[in-house]
Amino acid sequence: MKDTRHDLPPEHIPLGLIPTPFQPRLELLSRTKDWMNWAGYISPAVLDTMEFEYFAIRNQATLFDISPMHKYRISGPEALAMLNRLVTRDVRKLAPGRVAYVMWCDEDGMVIDDGTLFRLSETEFRLCCQEPQFSWLLDAAWGYDAQIEDESHNVAGLSLQGPTSASVLRGAGFEIDTLRPFDLAEVEPGLVISRTGFTGDLGYELWISPDRALALWDRLWDAGQIWGIRAIGYHALNMARIEAGFIAAGVEFQPIHHTLRLHRGRTPLELGFAWLVDFDKGHFNGRRALAAHAKRGPRSMIVKLDIGGFKPAADALIYHRKKREVGHVTSAMWSPTLKRNIALAEIRAPFGTDRTSDLWVEIYLNQEGVWQRRMARATVLSQPFFRNPRARATPPAAF
């Protein structure tokens, strides 16, 4: 694999961080020079302005570098059995050429991490996630005829999202019209495209070797000029994922291996993913604890909130009848697309589940150096904030 660390002058490399294969293009497009650390790699927080980048996600096509994600290949005759023992859902139902959202837990049923599982063939899988999991996967594979390979540095990734993303791919010469949501295909030797993403909109993810990364970027960039293609940073993507109602590790929940205090972890049931736990498939890690937890009921729940007014409720506390503190906001924003004040929040049971009325959010505003406290009514929602039919249309229209 080519060492991309030598592709940029030293003055453009923040101390201790590794450039991704796409960094030479991102460096040229960055007006803000606002970089962040993602798994030891340089990643853009904002390239131009967060507002322009956000509106590009919802109206055009965007490229976001996902190369820093941890990527693991699990292969071998018993790879399927090993993964079915690891994650909470039934992997046997995942056909080759399909992708599934998965979670895996410790023996107490607390979520270690979540991610996407790609079934590349009958005996080969790729697991993509935010947290490093190599040691845990090696432990989970003990006794199975399965091999674990950390290919995080050997696979580059691009997320192409937005209404015109399919048009960009067609313009670049890729056949993607038959790809349904959560499908994957090797469209050219060494290039895998999956119809996946983190925006709740039409979108794709492209996976390729680092030495071919820049050629792929240029091919997409040239094809996307008439479709309004724009490179984006993390902050704009984060706005889109909140609108989609997607949870994020380290925000809506703390991966249990990173918590310092007992019981600070959360189960899939408490994160709103009871449907992701298949008690009928046989034993899996954390099954006994989760079965007991299902009988007891959740300690808390992650919920979607519609909040009165237009001031975002970031980090706000939640009260019942304006008196009893019952939870806190984990992610919040004023949605430019929905024209609504929305939030994801953790609320202690039975509030947020059996008792969802008379909830209030405490918002503090600094106006001209003076802090003001406001109580805004919060309504618990059961549906995603943002949902667009184009995200599931097959084939997608040329928006």
Residue ranges of the binding site for substrate: 205
- pLDDT by residue (tens digit) across 265-307? 999 999 999 999 999 999 999 999 999 999 999 999 999 999 9
Q: Does residue 108 carry a pLDDT above 90?
A: yes
Same domain for 52 and 197, yes or no, is yes
Same domain for 297 and 220, yes or no, is no
pLDDT band for position 2 (cuts 50, 70, 90): very low
Domain-terminating residue out of 124, 150, 176: 150
Same domain for 365 and 287, yes or no, is yes
Average pLDDT over residues 17-41: 96
Asked, for residue 350, whether it belongs to a domain, the answer is: yes
Q: Does residue 309 carry a pLDDT above 60?
A: yes
Same domain for 64 and 74, yes or no, is no
pLDDT band for position 262 (cuts 50, 70, 90): confident
User: Tell me, what's the pLDDT at 26?
Assistant: 97
Same domain for 126 and 272, yes or no, is no
Q: Does residue 3 carry a pLDDT above 60?
A: no
Asked, for residue 352, whether it belongs to a domain, the answer is: yes
Give me the domain span that covers residue 134.
70-150
What CATH number is given to the structural domain containing 373?
Answer: 2.40.30.110
Q: Does residue 351 carry a pLDDT above 90?
A: yes
**Range with the lowest mean pLDDT among 10-14, 70-74, 123-127?**
10-14
- Rg over alpha carbons for the chain, rounded to the nearest Å, is 22
Domain-terminating residue out of 150, 171, 197: 150
Asked, for residue 397, whether it belongs to a domain, the answer is: no
Same domain for 94 and 56, yes or no, is no
What CATH number is given to the structural domain containing 99?
Answer: 3.30.70.1400
Same domain for 133 and 162, yes or no, is no
Q: What percent of the chain has pLDDT over 90?
A: 91
Sign of CA dihedral 255, 259, 261, 262: positive
Asked, for residue 270, whether it belongs to a domain, the answer is: yes
Asked, for residue 167, whether it belongs to a domain, the answer is: yes
Asked, for residue 237, whether it belongs to a domain, the answer is: yes
- pLDDT by residue (tens digit) across 142-193? 999 999 999 999 999 999 999 999 999 999 999 999 999 999 999 999 999 9
Q: Beta strands 324-335 and 317-320: pairing type?
A: antiparallel
Domain-terminating residue out of 108, 123, 150: 150
Q: Any residues with CB less than 8 A from the CB of 128 and at least 6 apart, and which?
A: 69, 70, 71, 72, 115, 116, 117, 118, 157
Q: What is the domain count for the chain?
A: 3
Same domain for 312 and 374, yes or no, is yes
Residue ranges of the binding site: 205
Same domain for 145 and 160, yes or no, is no
What CATH number is given to the structural domain containing 166?
Answer: 3.30.1360.120
User: Tell me, what's the pLDDT at 264?
Assistant: 86
Q: Does residue 7 carry a pLDDT above 70?
A: no
Q: Does residue 316 carry a pLDDT above 70?
A: yes
Same domain for 123 and 201, yes or no, is no
pLDDT band for position 261 (cuts 50, 70, 90): confident
Same domain for 217 and 271, yes or no, is no
Asked, for residue 17, whether it belongs to a domain, the answer is: no
User: Tell me, what's the pLDDT at 32?
Assistant: 96
pLDDT band for position 327 (cuts 50, 70, 90): very high
- pLDDT by residue (tens digit) across 189-246? 999 999 999 999 999 999 999 999 999 999 999 999 999 999 999 999 999 999 999 9
Same domain for 298 and 351, yes or no, is yes
